[in-house]
Amino acid sequence: MKRTLIKNAIIVNEGQKVYGSVVIEGEKIVEILVQGEETSTPCEEIIDAEGSYLLPGVIDDHVHFRDPGLTQKADITTESRAAVAGGVTSIMDMPNTNPQTVTLDAWHEKMELMAAKSLVNYSCYFGATNNNYSLFSQLDAHRVCGIKLFMGSSTGNMLVDQMSSLMNIFNGTDLLIAAHCENQDIIKKNTEFYKEEYGIGEGTDIDIPLRFHPEIRSVEACYESSKLAIELAQKANARLHLLHLTTAKELELFENKPLSEKRITAEACIPHLVFTDADYETYGTRIKCNPAIKTETDRKALREAVNTDLIDVIATDHAPHQLQEKEGGALKAMSGMPMIQFSLVSMLELVDEGVFDIEKVVEKMCHAPAQIYQINNRGYIRPGYQADLVLVKPSSSWVITTDSIYSKCKWSPLEGHTFNWKVDKTFVNGTLVYTDEQISDTHRGQELRFR
């Protein structure tokens, strides 16, 4: 098998930065060399990474690749290309596609699509509905990353809103339950209030101004739903992963203890760590998402919670729409944005700003997803693990342009932004899939497996 030596890199792994080299043989990492150690066997390919940082490939546990059925927005091929260009080597795709991934047949068909089209490693959630929990026992826990539960409306309307169904879901599986939490009764009440304020009735083209989006999808709506999910999980002793937290108040619900002891974990997404509600004026509906981006105080609390380990994972909620679908205000513009290509460099920019250190970024984007989801042999730079690796260069200024965006929708709220970190090379299972802004489109990722 071909051996590749990545030498002279700053290796960031398991809370440390060390100067050294990594040897890949076939799909796997076989040696980690530090302090001048030499490889045991000559290597056919040598990559000099002097001045670059070598990280585990990013594992994004929260993406919407829109395939099948919504491929005018995005598809597995285009979005997995964006992933490798961003240093993301593994993804977990959400079930609100068309058809929804809420039957065994739909799940298997989606996995076949992933196998045929994805350049990165992959898994797919099984979507919960009010009445499909009887299927959970037929799911293979080694192949299904988790149950996706919408306790808040979503694209495709998979809302689970019956208490009896929620109890059956939490009591009905040992699989991780990944929950989108927003209280729909509160959101509906807030929506009706602003509709009345602006005289919005049936058939009118008037929309509620975008600045009220975080007031409609409010702190209270998020907190009450997250609180309920945690109460149900505790009663059932279920594994619960709270997706895209947005508020300081929700953080009161979590315990600060080692990740290995947690049954209930939390995720923050890139938009909520980067933007605040003051940015609606600049970026408009391009940063409209559910749950809504909230205040600077909330963003500060989320960032602190990452550093203190109340928040366990950083993901993207990568959710492309066509740009015309983003027209409107708080009601009409679709929620979601493409972020996967720029997630790692966005976090490294926050490293430069002193918000996080690079070891914390690797912990939250690589190690913790692997640990929480119990992914086999990924998420770390260790001998015997799959060679999912990314080389990033600091002090490499570049600007996001439309031409540099790989997502099918061809827009980003970050267009025109200058980054000083750059993804140089991405390896997926030992194969160099992205290098020097070129992508190997013939490569296919592997199905993620879970312990």
Domains by residue range for the chain, with CATH? 3-55+386-395+415-439 (2.30.40.10), 58-372 (3.20.20.140)
Map 223-259 to HEC letters. Answer: HHHHHHHHHHHHHHCCCEEECCCCCCHHHHHCCCCCH
Q: For the segment 90-111, what is each residue's pLDDT rounded down to a tens digit? A: 999 999 999 999 999 999 999 9
Tell me what the pLDDT averaged over the chain comes to.
Answer: 96
**Inter-CA distances, 112 with 68, 74, 337, 446, Å:** 11, 17, 26, 11
Question: Coil, strand, or helix at residue 120?
Answer: coil
Beta bridge partners of 6: 22, 47
Nearest in space to 239 (alpha carbons), one of 398, 372, 389, 347: 372
Please give the chain's pLDDT, 451 residues, in tens: 899 999 999 999 999 999 999 999 999 999 999 988 999 889 999 999 999 999 999 999 999 999 999 999 999 999 999 999 999 999 999 999 999 999 999 999 999 999 999 999 999 999 999 999 999 999 999 999 999 999 865 545 688 988 999 999 999 999 999 999 999 999 999 999 999 988 887 777 789 999 999 999 999 999 999 999 999 999 999 999 999 999 999 999 999 999 999 999 999 999 999 999 999 999 999 999 999 999 999 999 999 999 999 999 999 999 999 999 999 999 999 999 999 999 999 999 999 999 999 999 999 999 999 999 999 999 999 999 999 999 999 999 999 999 999 999 999 999 999 999 999 999 999 999 999 999 999 999 999 999 9
pTM above 0.85, yes or no: yes
Nearest in space to 381 (alpha carbons), one of 98, 120, 9, 3: 9
CB within 8 Å of 166: residues ≥ 6 apart: 149, 151, 160, 228, 232
Nearest 5°: CA angle at 179, between 56 and 152? 135
CB within 8 Å of 169: residues ≥ 6 apart: 128, 133, 136, 147, 149, 160, 177
- Distance of alpha carbon 423 from alpha carbon 254, whole angstroms: 34
**Inter-CA distances, 63 with 92, 123, 140, Å:** 6, 10, 21
